[in-house]
Amino acid sequence: MPLLHRLEPLTRSPELDPSCIAPCLNLPAKGQLSLTASTFNDTSSFLTFLLPSNTFSFSSSFTSPSSIIMSAVYPPGGTIVQSLKRTFADVPVDEANGNAVSTVEFLEASESLTTIFDAIGGVAFGPVKKDILGNVEKLRARHAAAPAESATVQDLVRNELKTGKHTATEGCLWLIRGLDFTKQGLEHNVQNPSVELSDSFRDAYGNTLKPHHSFMVKPIFSAAMSAVPYRKDFYAKLGDNPEKVQADLEAYLASFSKVVAILKEFINSKEAKW
């Protein structure tokens, strides 16, 4: 069933009230703005309009979970984790310096993580991948502009805020939220063999991104989780040996969780506010 049909209560009105849409999209509420679902060519462009740029922007039409699974991306005899250019286990963390996280390696690990989204499929997680990569570039741009002041993620944020700007800092906030969402979804699913991927990520959404989304985005994004592939299809794309896939994912998630926890605590602290 098309997504817009499943969201019938949200789109029943022939027009979308501009005064409601404007706050969600950072658009002015003044002036004439008359929109209907038919204004857009497909479900994907309708969702792209509704979702703010700092959230996610859908780039493809919704189909059934079984039809969106991507081809295998793991090496012969290995697992998808082994194909990653950088894992979070490779990210230096200076415990003697307040758990300072090395910027370059952290950004590379975040970028490499998106390889897993290719196995999940582009419909539900294409937007997540796009958002993570976009925020990685914001931090990378700040690092390139002031490398001596940006060796660690924490210093990058502190020193940018001293300039009165917060582009990279805001990008860091949303990057960590996106990583936390992904980490919680994968972690829950790995630890619960009978739970479908969609259920794990729906719970993860409620714990991470949902509190920061508008009332219009919440039901749309929740419905998008239904486009996640079935569990058996997803894990089949991660490696031929289920036991090895499980072991590699558990090891990967352990270091992933450690780095996310450190940066989550920092980005929510007073020194990271603007």
Lowest mean pLDDT, pick from 53-57, 68-72, 132-136, 221-225: 53-57
pLDDT of residue 159: 99
Domains belonging to the chain, first-starting first, are 63-272 (1.10.3520.10)
Task: Report the pLDDT averaged over residues 70-88.
Answer: 84
Q: Which helix (H) or strand (E) holds 138?
A: helix 122-145
Torsion from C-alpha of 209, 215, 217, 219, nearest 10 degrees: 90
Q: Which helix (H) or strand (E) holds 101?
A: strand 100-101
- Count CA atoms closer than 13 A to 121's CA, side-chain side: 26
pLDDT per residue over 174-218, tens digit each? 999 999 999 999 999 999 999 999 999 999 999 999 999 888 878
pLDDT per residue over 128-170, tens digit each? 888 899 999 999 999 999 999 999 999 999 999 999 999 999 9
In this prediction, residue 265 has a pLDDT band, given cuts at 50, 70 and 90, of very high
CA distances from 119 to 11, 125, 239, 249, 256 (A): 31, 10, 11, 14, 18
* Contact present, 174 and 166 (Cβ < 8 Å): no
pLDDT per residue over 223-255, tens digit each? 778 888 899 999 999 999 999 999 999 999 999
Ramachandran class of 136: left when φ > 0, alpha when ψ lies in -120 to 50, beta otherwise? alpha
pLDDT of residue 226: 81
Cβ-based neighbour number of residue 53 at 10 Å: 11
CA distance between the termini of the chain: 44
